[in-house]
Structure 1
């Protein structure tokens, strides 16, 4: 007791730990890290008994440390939730360094009851910093009303609690006070209430100075400083503690909001980082163009700028904000509001208290809804989210009446918080934009192949590489050829990035062009090789080119340094790698290419892929090719399921980094009964004969619905062939395979083209009629002349 008969008060550096229902740590303060060792990220989520092993909570294995309770009180009982009474004790912390490093620990444990997940509040202190010589110090409990200024002591308790809402904090404080205020008993005489001390650095220096002043006063000589001068030190220490607390808060927030480059996740992290520790409500707004990953005009925003509400965190009752200010809404902000002032000046706007009159004035600027109940009687701080002197958005921060109003120090803290958050958001925005550009480029490079082509079904898959190499040089494609044939190609440009993607685009375009000329596979690869050498000596690519003839049941293939394809036979389910002449990669030059022709039966499958699917660093490629053969032969309900089986078997091995292109073709063939062919003489009288042949065949096939359109177009094409083509024959062929394909072949090599015809012109309208009526049409050269073809959808005619 002091001279007035009142108990002295002291400030004790405390470690604060909160344990949840499962017995795991849910809060681990900075003081806990200093006292017990583990960092917060290592402690949160771990069983509390592992971190606070009191009285045999952990077996004392060799090399482990333990806490030994000197009072006989067992903290583990509290950790396990087997008691509803507070407990306290003194323990000895032994580290693996040796007995000299033992730490005396004083602790208090409060069981908590309520709707939240918290079930135990543990306070702990280092007894070595509190005990004097010859003194005995022990923790205990006392009603806070036993001490002077009890209400002031109670108000200081929330300062040591973890970040939580006002309601949760009040609930826990009420329980702590009801169970007993934590006290220290010195030598069985004094009971000192425990008040948290944040460990001001100059505390020891000030204490020594006071002791020296007291000794000087007792000796009757002037001391170095009068005790009254320490009042200024106390004031400075309070300011220092406040500044340091804000710096710790900013440091913690910076660590939380930079964990991802995903824009949506970053926005949520920024909002949750400030609620409830710094504010009770946080609404985040971004420019619409930022959310959409687009650019926006230079200069400050104006009253027409649309702002998208991307996140809203608060501690109010659920649903209070949802109807009035829903997340996902876009809106402009009126000129005469603090929000407009913040986004145009780029500086924080502080409104310490929003009165009824001010709340009404702000709400009057908004036409759609009344926001007065949400902002009135609260303190508001609006901070800009900007990076590189560009305002990307802003945050509206509101505090409840129960909390201190925002002040100038909060404005500085909020500005620094917004600056850090703005930079993180801008990085996420730029990353999202670049990723969108990469994906758009990649999608534009890859074709959208129809699943059903003449005489075959097709399924494809493309998997990008790593996040740092989403754009690659792998591609696949298909090209329709005369005679109901289809060309398939899979290629891989060596390297990654935009250069490889650009090279891939050029090669794919060249393949499309040369395939449309119906060049043989070997000649097509030779043309690709010449093109690559003209583009530059550093361009290399592998390519596998195959032409499927469903009428003849043949597959023609040529390879340029690519991995071989897999053929799966329908008869016995056997799969094998096709033994193709490998050839040199495209771009090497001077190396001949060879082709191979194989027979295929209906139901056989061809699997073509790039090496990213089968190659794994440190593993022989033969292992991947064997796995490819095995997975390709696995039965599947559909083509898509078959592709997924291959991807699951191969793509997850060894941490794939390369992109993957996969193309699978199931060759069903075209029956001879679905093909009709006639040889016509190049005479005008053959035109009506051709129409009659077509009508008769379509009637036999049950396709009279498209007979009239087919007759009209056949008449135009045969007329052109008779009038302009040389040679002694004209060939007409119909093929039924999902669609109706009609081809007219003659000996003239010059390809026809659409022409403009005047009102009085007699000729020039034939191909325009074909272009209007046909689903698709085209021309191509053949070895003996040319072919003009068209397709009709068999379901209806386009008349």
Structure 2
């Protein structure tokens, strides 16, 4: 036994140097293997798009194993809970395998599909399990030649479910060694983690999208208006947002249009949005003026847990006056386009966000045939490359050039795509309303406040209902009108106009007066001569009510117009 004196170095190439060099090569190979896997792993586990993920995994594993071609067969679950298999290829064009069926769970493939282990063969055609299954008894005719074979299962680390398998081939024998096997298994492990992440992300996003869709209203068919509504969730992210819109059919043929935004994302934003949207709808159905609807909603928002910054634009269309009354709670201005005129902004600076204050200004604009109204959220006009002002200018320009030959729905879709370039990082909500025509019959009678008003009103109603061929409801309409007019004269002494209008399905009788008190329904006592007016209206009309006006109120009643029986 010999030793090297202290301070003296062993000469390179002396006894034992070959073993040392082998150890160094092995350490370098291990370090390179770890580095390679870490780089690939970071890239794969950061990828949440499933299609991109499986292709990148297949490309990385094929390159790392130096295979002539590689394939990744992976399992997905459809909306009905059924499993199906897809695949990606690397190293060869996809059409190379298009004519072949999916691999079956034969003896050669079973360890991969069952997840029992890796299969590596210097020549798979010499494996005793090879070629024992009909109808091909080996590789199908036209298949790329495979001699060296490597297959690795991809198994979820959480559920231990077999998610798929990698398959690598080479036409020459003995091309895959233990290091290639290690690389393939390492990439398979990272792929399994990434697939778990991507599937969870897709499921979460699908749930968020379904939640959002479930909260979107059904837009009603309206007599005089064409309405296009759009909701597009953000292109990225998996949480539901706080944008919403609504279309509410109000009494007496009027319609409310609402759009709003709750700042933030996730369950809290969705919960707040649901509460605020429900509140706006409820106050709207009370037939309150737009400013009052927002005032009451703001009071509710102030005490709503989780509510932070909430904006809302509320507008009401009156088909008889052909007007649009509106109020704004800190939302982006609406856009009004009158026939033959350039689009303009309305509702700027009318009020603070909901929950911040209670004073909301109210405006009124003409909305004749051919007019258009656009309500939207900031995702349509603001992004990282464009500020809000430039975005609104672009929207104004786009609405001014809205193509009529596409149809309104297709034109709105084209406008959204143009403004967003097909990409948006925030939710988009859009309501576009166009007054398409006057299909409503209208008649107005000024009232004088004298005792003759009721008689004149009865004659007026009879004449117009005969003209409109509504004789089936003439008697009821005359009685309801008489009571409404008599109430206005008796209790206020200062009535305004009697208005009749119908759209073919409902006749609406409206009596305006300048009295501040809301009419109340009394149950008259036996033998009592008074308080029978509204009692009769309530019994005869399908529904009735009142709404405030700037100088008083309007009391209205609706009667359903019977449809003609089908002759067949």
Which of 322, 331, 339 lines up with 2:98 in the alignment?
322
1:659 matched to 2:404? The reply is: no
2:216 aligned residue: 446
1:278-357, aligned counterparts within 5 Å? 278=65, 279-289=67-77, 292=78, 306-313=83-90, 315=92, 319=95, 321-325=97-101, 334=105, 337=107, 339-342=109-112, 344-345=114-115, 347-350=117-120, 353-355=124-126, 357=128
Answer yes or no: is the 8 Å Cα contact 1:607–1:664 preserved in 2: yes
1:502 matched to 2:285? The reply is: no
> Shift of residue 263 of structure 1?
0.5
* Local SS of the residue matching 2:129: helix
* Local SS of the residue matching 1:359: coil
> Shift of residue 448 of structure 1?
4.9
- Whole-angstrom CA distance in 2 between matches of 1:733 and 1:594: 30
Q: Go from structure 1 to structure 2 and tell me whether the alpha carbon gap of 1:390 and 1:576 turns closer, same or farther (over 3 Å shift).
A: same
Which of 565, 583, 592 lines up with 2:334 in the alignment?
565
Greater C-alpha Rg: 1
* Local SS of the residue matching 1:535: coil
2:254 aligned residue: 485
Answer yes or no: is the 8 Å Cα contact 2:153–2:162 preserved in 1: no
Structure 1 unaligned spans of 5+? 1-205, 214-224, 297-304, 679-685, 699-710, 751-777
Q: Go from structure 1 to structure 2 and tell me whether the alpha carbon gap of 1:465 and 1:417 turns closer, same or farther (over 3 Å shift).
A: closer
- Whole-angstrom CA distance in 1 between matches of 2:302 and 2:210: 28
Which of 333, 343, 350 lines up with 1:582 in the alignment?
350
1:590-609, aligned counterparts within 5 Å? 591-609=358-376
Q: What is the CA deviation profile of residues 384-419 of structure 1, one whole-angstrom value per residue up to 9, with x for unaligned ones?
A: 232335335131424335131645544433221211
> Shift of residue 357 of structure 1?
4.5
> Shift of residue 422 of structure 1?
1.3
1:186-201, aligned counterparts within 5 Å? none
1:359 aligned residue: 130
Q: What is the CA deviation profile of residues 585-633 of structure 1, one whole-angstrom value per residue up to 9, with x for unaligned ones?
A: 22235x2334333333221222222345456789986665555544433
- What is the aligned length? 492
Answer yes or no: is the 8 Å Cα contact 2:506–2:558 preserved in 1: no
1:456 matched to 2:225? The reply is: yes
Greater Cα offset, 726-735 or 782-791: 726-735
Q: What is the CA deviation profile of residues 425-453 of structure 1, one whole-angstrom value per residue up to 9, with x for unaligned ones?
A: 22222222222223222333333536x63
Answer yes or no: is the 8 Å Cα contact 1:489–1:543 preserved in 2: yes
- Whole-angstrom CA distance in 2 between matches of 1:435 and 1:487: 31
- Whole-angstrom CA distance in 1 between matches of 2:174 and 2:54: 26
Q: What is the CA deviation profile of residues 363-387 of structure 1, one whole-angstrom value per residue up to 9, with x for unaligned ones?
A: 36xxx87654469855342322323
2:242 aligned residue: 473
CA RMSD, 1 decimal: 4.9
Answer yes or no: is the 8 Å Cα contact 2:33–2:183 preserved in 1: yes
Which of 250, 265, 271 lines up with 2:58 in the alignment?
271
> Shift of residue 262 of structure 1?
0.6
- Whole-angstrom CA distance in 2 between matches of 1:620 and 1:241: 53
1:670 aligned residue: 438
Q: Go from structure 1 to structure 2 and tell me whether the alpha carbon gap of 1:433 and 1:344 turns closer, same or farther (over 3 Å shift).
A: same
Q: Go from structure 1 to structure 2 and tell me whether the alpha carbon gap of 1:461 and 1:538 turns closer, same or farther (over 3 Å shift).
A: closer
2:530 aligned residue: none
* Local SS of the residue matching 1:489: strand
> Shift of residue 481 of structure 1?
2.5
Which of 128, 131, 155 lines up with 1:385 in the alignment?
155
Structure 2 unaligned spans of 5+? 1-8, 446-457, 486-497, 512-518, 522-541, 548-554
1:183 aligned residue: none
1:209 aligned residue: 12
Q: Go from structure 1 to structure 2 and tell me whether the alpha carbon gap of 1:319 and 1:650 turns closer, same or farther (over 3 Å shift).
A: closer
Higher relative contact order (CA 8 A, sep 6+): 2
Q: What is the CA deviation profile of residues 499-546 of structure 1, one whole-angstrom value per residue up to 9, with x for unaligned ones?
A: 222211222233333333433323322332233234237444221111
> Shift of residue 253 of structure 1?
3.8
* Local SS of the residue matching 2:354: coil
- Whole-angstrom CA distance in 2 between matches of 1:256 and 1:207: 44
- Whole-angstrom CA distance in 2 between matches of 1:726 and 1:337: 87
* Local SS of the residue matching 1:467: coil
Q: What is the CA deviation profile of residues 676-724 of structure 1, one whole-angstrom value per residue up to 9, with x for unaligned ones?
A: 899xxxxxxx9xx99x9799739xxxxxxxxxxxx9xx77x998x999x
* Local SS of the residue matching 2:273: helix
- Whole-angstrom CA distance in 1 between matches of 2:178 and 2:385: 60
Q: Go from structure 1 to structure 2 and tell me whether the alpha carbon gap of 1:617 and 1:381 turns closer, same or farther (over 3 Å shift).
A: closer
- Whole-angstrom CA distance in 1 between matches of 2:329 and 2:567: 43
Q: Go from structure 1 to structure 2 and tell me whether the alpha carbon gap of 1:399 and 1:441 turns closer, same or farther (over 3 Å shift).
A: same
TM-score, normalising length from structure 1? 0.51
TM-score, normalising length from structure 2? 0.69
2:199 aligned residue: 429
Answer yes or no: is the 8 Å Cα contact 2:337–2:344 preserved in 1: yes
